[in-house]
Each structure stands twice: as C-alpha cells, then as structure tokens.
Structure 1
Amino acid sequence: MKKFSSKVLLGLVIAVAGFSASAQEFKVGVVNLDRIFREANSAKAAQTKLEQEFSKREKELTDMAAQLKTQSDKFEREAPTLAESQRTSRQRQLVDQDRTFQTKRREFQEDLSARKNEELQLVIERANKVVKTLAETEKYDLILQESVYVNPKHDITDKVIKALNASR
C-alpha cells in the first residue's frame, strides 16, 4: 500500500510540475490602442491629413460664427432704436443665418467624424497586421487590446509602434 501511495504522490508531483511548466509557456501581450493613435507615425500622418483636409471648412465656420456674433451684438445695441418692422426683419435674418451656421457646423462635424473613423480604421488595420505578425514571430498565445490593468512586462505597445513606424 505504501508503494502505491508513493507512486500516486510521485505521479501527482510530475503532473503538477508539468502543468506549471505549461502554464509558464503561456505568453500574453497587451496593446494600448490609445498610445498607438497618439504615437505611431501613421496615426500622426492621418491626423495631419485630416487637419489639412478640413482646415478650410473649419476656418469658414469660425469666420461665419464671428460674423454672426458681430451682427448679433450690433442688433442688440441698435434694437431699441429700430422700428418694429426693421427689428423683426433683422431678427429673422439673424435666425436664418444662425440656422445656416448650425447646419453647416453639424455637416462639418459629421463629415469630420466619418473621415476620422475611416483614417483610424486604416491605422487599426495596419496595427492588427503588425500585432498578428508579432504574435506569430514571438510565439504569443494571446494578445489583448483593452484591459483594466496591465503588468508592464506584458505591454507590447512599444514593439507594435516601432514595427508600425518601420513599415511606413
């Protein structure tokens, strides 16, 4: 009976040792997408491209807002001295201009948001290819993109950013 229990105990020790050895081989990495969007050259280039593409429309909106504010301030100063018909007419004109401005601003925001999503999706696709290549070459079992807490030894964001910058 003692031989049997020592053999079982030896078997359990070997099984536990084998399990812990295989658990140590499980390799995990974590990628921080926010850092990639801030630090990768392709993300910075996308941001510059968007700024150039939308800067003219943004300036037009800024100018339009300033003009509307100037006209509104002028109306506020002059309103007490205007005839009722003039006051009503200028109020309608200001309301129409404000409506036009709000519509243009909303269209601008929608267009900018859509283009930003397109550009960020391209960055994500490139980053995912780099992550997949990195996972295959360095034998990662699992790579996560979002997490609550990451031990710095598992953070591979720097490697991904370097590889992205090198591939551009």
Structure 2
Amino acid sequence: MKSLIKSLTSLPSASLLAMCLLSVAPAHADDGSKIAFVSSERILREAAPAKAAQSKIEAEFSKRDKDLQDLAARLKATADKLDKDSAVISESERIRRQRELSDMDKDFQRKQREFREDLNQRRNEELAIVLERSTKAIKQIAEAEKYDIVFQEGGVYVSPRIDITDKVLKILNK
C-alpha cells in the first residue's frame, strides 16, 4: 500500500486527478449522475449581453480609434513629404523635420499603447460581467435540472448530448 501511495504522489497532479476520476467514475456511472458542458467561447460570441458589451465598447472607443487612424495618416504623409523633399531642403531643415517626425512617431506609439491598454481593460470588465451572468444562468439550470457537475471548456471531446450551452444562451438572451 505504501508503495502505491508513493508512486501516486510522484505523478503530476493532473495525472493523479485523472486516475482518481477514472477509478471513481465506474462506481457512479449507474447511479443516475448528470453531467453537462457549457462552451464559454460560444457564450462570449453569441449571447445578447456579450454582443451588447461589444457594441458598447466599440461606441466608447470609436472616436479614439479614428483619432489614431488620423494621426497615423498624418505621420505617413509627413514621412512621405520628408522623403520627397529631402533632396531639395537644407541639412538643418532635414534634421529638424526628422526630429519632428520622430516626435510624432513617439506620440503615436504612446497613444496607440494607451488605447490598447484601455481597450483591453474595458473589454475585460465587460466580459467579467457577462461571465458572471453566465455563471448564474449555469447554476440556475444545474439546480433546476439536477446536474451533479457542469464543465466549461477544457475537454478534448464533448458529446452534444451533455452540452447545455443553448440553454444558457436562451436564459442570457432573455
């Protein structure tokens, strides 16, 4: 027995968990246990609250996105003008314009980085709200239909027979 315990403790924890689950599963297979699965990816793609959150974020960030696109266009136009004029302008003027272009590029890079950071933060906030609502819907279904366990993602194969994602979407889309 000690050698079995020692060999089990030397296995990676995921392997140990899988062995335990496999050894327990047949004992409970005939007791009427109910198992279900929910696709979080589908929830975040298809649920009305997720779509509303995406629209809200797009509206919130559209002006800043357009401003960044305009700044990128000005930056490109300035670089093109410098390339075109570099043969006919003085060395000091070329150096001044290059510095100006470099400053514009730094400003653009900073604004673009801030935009991405702000966008990711807002997206994460909105997705957290959707996932919280999704979790409540899953619990509601699990309690009403007496599921013993509900998995989210992470499976190599999931039978459509146990997939309750459509039920969760139905609740979220109300």
Query: Which residue, 23, 30, 47 being the options, matches 1:21?
Result: 30
Query: Which residue, 44, 52, 61 being the options, matches 2:51?
Result: 44
Query: Which residue, 126, 133, 137 being the options, matches 1:130?
Result: 137
Structure 2 unaligned segments of length 5 or more: list them: 1-26
Task: Give the structure 1 partner of residue 171 of structure 2.
Answer: 163
How far 1:20 moved relative to its partner? 5.2
2:61 maps to 1:91: no
Structure 1 unaligned segments of length 5 or more: list them: 1-17
How far 1:99 moved relative to its partner? 0.1
Task: Give the structure 1 partner of residue 107 of structure 2.
Answer: 100
How far 1:28 moved relative to its partner? 0.8
Over 3 Å counting, the alpha-carbon distance change for 1:81 and 1:125 in structure 2 is same
Distance in 2 between residues matched to 1:62 and 1:21, nearest whole Å: 61
Distance in 1 between residues matched to 2:28 and 2:170, nearest whole Å: 35
How far 1:149 moved relative to its partner? 1.4
TM-score, scaled relative to structure 1? 0.85
TM-score, scaled relative to structure 2? 0.82
Task: Give the structure 1 partner of residue 158 of structure 2.
Answer: 150
Secondary structure of residue in 1 paired with 2:30: helix
Q: Quick one: which amino acid aligns to residue 136 of structure 2?
A: K
How far 1:19 moved relative to its partner? 5.9
Secondary structure of residue in 2 paired with 1:127: helix
Query: Which residue, 66, 71, 75 being the options, matches 1:64?
Result: 71
How far 1:148 moved relative to its partner? 2.0
RMSD: 1.2
How far 1:81 moved relative to its partner? 1.4
Residue identity (%)? 52
* Per-residue deviation, residues 81-108 of structure 1 (Å, max 9, x unmatched): 1111000000000000000000000000
Residues matched between the structures, number: 147
Task: Give the structure 2 partner of residue 81 of structure 1.
Answer: 88
Q: Quick one: which amino acid aligns to residue 158 of structure 1?
A: D
How far 1:21 moved relative to its partner? 3.0
